[in-house]
Structure 1
């Protein structure tokens, strides 16, 4: 097997720029959709359709393990436990231990500053709360429908609530999906509608949020100012409701696409944006589900992709998050230091994009990395042009994020032999001393 026929042209050009890339890892889930117990290392535990993720101030991670009918917790030592749900779909247990209760297909989880955990108990049409290991109902009477505004939240009707969030004041927000509304429970337990008029569709930007149309709102997040971000899924948009009650589109054009990175978020395409999160500095993170990416909108309104290459699959752990494969990322959370947590639904995993002092910087230089000999039918050599010999790893990655070849040497030149790669576009990545150099690589066999 050979990499090239006798007439191969391969050139790698690194353009002048430098970007930061967080490293992605799996922190929970072994990829098998199942339940294999608690009290074990989270990365070897089985999850089954992890739909949402949250993180508390101490760094504990909470998972809406949807098809296991449980809420799981990964503590800071990496051990996973069940904190709510006995695994049997149903409704029971209020006033007792949360682990003895029945919940049904939970799709949302949130934790407030006091450590209370809130569950979007979707099929039970209610919001449950865990306080000191005891579960109670805080919204919804268990019957699907709409009703109860301006009254007690526990007497109100919800319809398939998809997610839940809290603000710093202790208010609770619900993406009441099948009612096409966002509901709010104040600290007195009174529920109101804060966005959506109940009719599915798109309308209302630059006006009162309660007059606007939403279309299957899913994710929800609230910033430190009290502004609400709504993943308006079937409108392919993120909507923002200001603390004064005015709604606008924050990201997305309304057309399903992956276009628009490095430009205005309102000119970018999204595709089934199901989850949304916001950090303390105002950056907004979007679980762009069918684009298989996590997108970020900075304070200036510019959107970028920060995790996922845009192709469904699983790969990339230990490398830059932007070169990893995700598969239906439906939930996203961010902690106080910038770590990003992803509910990688179809991969049955929770991924973490790690922000730390060991974050790799992807360097690109205004010079060529030489690939030779050309032509060849036996091997390929990549000359890094680094001045000193050091430990380098060179990998060739295909468009699906799979590493098709990799070699590590103590040198500034790496030679890969006896391999065969079809014509196409690849990514050549060289890692050395915590730095990464990368750019596209074109393989062309001239017949």
Structure 2
């Protein structure tokens, strides 16, 4: 049976509140013996629960020595066992003994590297845990608790990538409860350092307030969805987002969906200190004040509690009065006197000992207008920008930071979320890396070795430990900051490397007249482009020479079938053409699907839409000539013989575009939520994901709006990214590149691609509202 051996090693005491890895890491060792030749010994090792293939099976000749009596011979081996989530391995030295006269008798000793064999003595190891598949070898297992040094960056609590709500110590605890949204809302674990050395956590999706002790033990203070004060075990919250802790241990909570600020006293009583619970903006006495979706809280040195909403900073005074401290109702960006200042979307707040207020303000509308800014309201009430960065896809240095903490020297620590790094922003506006390589992952180690994954909120303890909500809200990490500051350049500053640009691409304008609306189009079998005249209430045809003619519709808004010149449409949009030349039209104003036959006759094939006009994201025709209708929330509908049915569903995310390749396989883009996915769906409904990417503001290659896709004969998918104003290619292997963007059009100030198709020659046609570009690929 398996043995258990504890390898003890004196560790330095850990200061109260300091982050630490457990004292030991469990390593499992397996000793093999050849049944036919009992002197033939092998050793394997792995981290607890890992794979025996980690180090393989190593021969161990028992020729390193004999016992003083000569009865036993032994062999020594030093094992460096890689550990999950740590940059450095656990090193253990193992000695295997064998009775020369009774070769089936095996004993084992172990010690830390360069330790003393006598500490633990020699333990029998029966080789009765199993045999090899061939039956040639038998083996015995043993677990060794190996000491590991504390690392400057360590995991305090939680299990990387595992969601849940369970309490426990270290990796036995779980945070976060929504697999899709938690991945891309790194702010969903609010943090605050408490005076007793613990960390208070607002667990957003579990509607819970939790505490992490200095040893990594997680306990739940209050939990459960609702809106109720009282004893902590009876109280209820609804998506608590931010927390702050005062010197007496009172916890203040930004209870976002309840529109309240709550307090939890040290003896466990929950009360509402501000907010009526209604969606309203009202200053005045705390019990009458209206607070809208509070996102964070921070305590000032004079006892004021500052509250951030989307575009305002509110102040709750010690006397119980709520006032608007800075900002207003409108999204904007304006420095100056605090009452005149404007904020776009406040994400986090921190206050230093002097009373300077720092906030993270972002433009989260997407596209090339994205920015991240750190703004300061100094003690005179003046708002100024310390650093403003364009979005990562526009060459910026900040990737939507989600956490901020005062650095004590006039600067602040930031979670540079999209670049997976912790940085310090100096008062002069310079960025310095603190911890993390910038490579996405989870790895403890030195500050230069550690890896983070979308780090979020920060909290700084009085003794210099920076706590980080990491792994997209599944773990709490700790960064021990060097005494006396951090050496400049000690950790390289992470930068963003976006998708490569395709080379050898040429762009020319297609000859056309302004009377062809190319917001969405399709190619007919005879080489004409078919486009909807959305505001002209007709469907038009563009010839290769640029001549535009009306295919159907008399230009009057209406709903009438019949000959082409008599038919009426109302704001037609998407079109698709089948192999016989039938044109299908989404007749938006009439919420119907119309068909234009090759002779121009118009009929209605569907006089209702399954989910409403604004849910439709495209039309395509499958290999059997059936019409496919993209529906952003339900997937893809198939219209066959007048009957509508679901052809495929796409999860997660909302469907934003569809196309069918030459073989009849359906391709899709789900790009109005995250992660952005592009893939294909077989006839039986199985989904193959070609590429999956996080939000562009966190460094993903795509924005949230993939307007259209087209599939080439070689399987390459071309995607129109409207917000980032570019067309991307995705190879069959999932490699992403920029085909054209604003840089491809000298002298053009804006490029608004709406649709793309692949011509029989292999070129791309890319449409804007009133012009079409031919993109010739190498």
Number of the residue aligned with 1:134: 269
Local SS of the residue matching 1:155: coil
Please point out which of 188, 193, 196 is paired with 1:58.
Answer: 196
Query: Matched residues in 2 for 1:81 and 1:356: separation?
Result: 29
Number of the residue aligned with 1:341: 467
Query: Matched residues in 2 for 1:41 and 1:305: separation?
Result: 30
Number of the residue aligned with 2:208: 70
How many angstroms does 1:290 deviate by? 2.1
Number of the residue aligned with 1:24: 153
Indicate how the Cα distance of structure 1 residues 45 and 236 shifts in structure 2: closer, same or farther if over 3 A, else same: same
1:240 aligns with 2:368: no
Number of the residue aligned with 1:289: 417
Runs of 5+ unmatched residues, structure 2 = 1-150, 177-181, 183-187, 364-370, 491-778
* Paired positions, count: 321
Query: Matched residues in 2 for 1:183 and 1:363: separation?
Result: 38
Is the 8 Å Cα contact of residues 301 and 354 (structure 2) preserved in structure 1? no
Local SS of the residue matching 1:100: coil
Please point out which of 313, 319, 339 is paired with 1:182.
Answer: 313
Query: Matched residues in 2 for 1:299 and 1:152: separation?
Result: 36
Q: Provide Cα deviations, 1:192-218, integer angstroms capped at 9, x if missing partner.
A: 111112210212x2x211211101101
TM-score, normalised to structure 2's length?
A: 0.39
Please point out which of 146, 169, 178 is paired with 2:281.
Answer: 146
How many angstroms does 1:251 deviate by? 2.0
How many angstroms does 1:362 deviate by? 11
Query: Matched residues in 2 for 1:286 and 1:139: separation?
Result: 28
1:155 aligns with 2:282: no
Is the 8 Å Cα contact of residues 66 and 107 (structure 1) preserved in structure 2? yes
1:195 aligns with 2:333: no
Local SS of the residue matching 2:392: coil
Indicate how the Cα distance of structure 1 residues 245 and 97 shifts in structure 2: closer, same or farther if over 3 A, else same: same
Q: Summarize the alignment of residues 7-406 of structure 1 with structure 2, pairs less than 5 Å apart.
A: 23-35=152-164, 37-38=166-167, 40-48=168-176, 49=182, 50-85=188-223, 88-92=224-228, 94=229, 96-131=230-265, 132-147=267-282, 149=283, 151-177=284-310, 180-203=311-334, 205=335, 207-234=336-363, 235-253=371-389, 255-257=390-392, 269-312=397-440, 314-317=441-444, 319-346=445-472, 348-355=474-481
Query: Matched residues in 2 for 1:166 and 1:360: separation?
Result: 26
Local SS of the residue matching 1:170: coil
Structure number with larger C-alpha Rg? 2
How many angstroms does 1:258 deviate by? 9.3
Q: Provide Cα deviations, 1:212-269, integer angstroms capped at 9, x if missing partner.
A: 110110101111111110111224101100111100001223x123999xxxxxxx73
Query: Matched residues in 2 for 1:282 and 1:290: separation?
Result: 24
Indicate how the Cα distance of structure 1 residues 103 and 144 shifts in structure 2: closer, same or farther if over 3 A, else same: same
Number of the residue aligned with 1:401: none
Query: Matched residues in 2 for 1:134 and 1:196: separation?
Result: 33
Query: Matched residues in 2 for 1:198 and 1:27: separation?
Result: 39
Local SS of the residue matching 2:233: helix
Is the 8 Å Cα contact of residues 315 and 326 (structure 1) preserved in structure 2? yes
Query: Matched residues in 2 for 1:296 and 1:34: separation?
Result: 29
Is the 8 Å Cα contact of residues 199 and 213 (structure 1) preserved in structure 2? yes
Is the 8 Å Cα contact of residues 238 and 273 (structure 1) preserved in structure 2? no
How many angstroms does 1:363 deviate by? 11
Is the 8 Å Cα contact of residues 443 and 452 (structure 2) preserved in structure 1? no
How many angstroms does 1:102 deviate by? 1.1
How many angstroms does 1:73 deviate by? 0.4
TM-score, normalised to structure 1's length?
A: 0.67
Local SS of the residue matching 1:123: helix
Is the 8 Å Cα contact of residues 174 and 184 (structure 1) preserved in structure 2? yes
Number of the residue aligned with 1:408: none
What's the C-alpha RMSD, in Å, of the aligned pairs?
2.6
Q: Provide Cα deviations, 1:15-36, integer angstroms capped at 9, x if missing partner.
A: xxxxxxx821110111254435
Query: Matched residues in 2 for 1:37 and 1:315: separation?
Result: 21
Query: Matched residues in 2 for 1:36 and 1:119: separation?
Result: 19
How many angstroms does 1:300 deviate by? 4.8
How many angstroms does 1:316 deviate by? 1.9
Indicate how the Cα distance of structure 1 residues 272 and 145 shifts in structure 2: closer, same or farther if over 3 A, else same: farther
Q: Relative contact order, CA 8 A, sep 6+: which one is greater?
A: 1
Local SS of the residue matching 2:418: helix
Runs of 5+ unmatched residues, structure 1 = 1-21, 261-267, 365-447
Local SS of the residue matching 1:330: coil
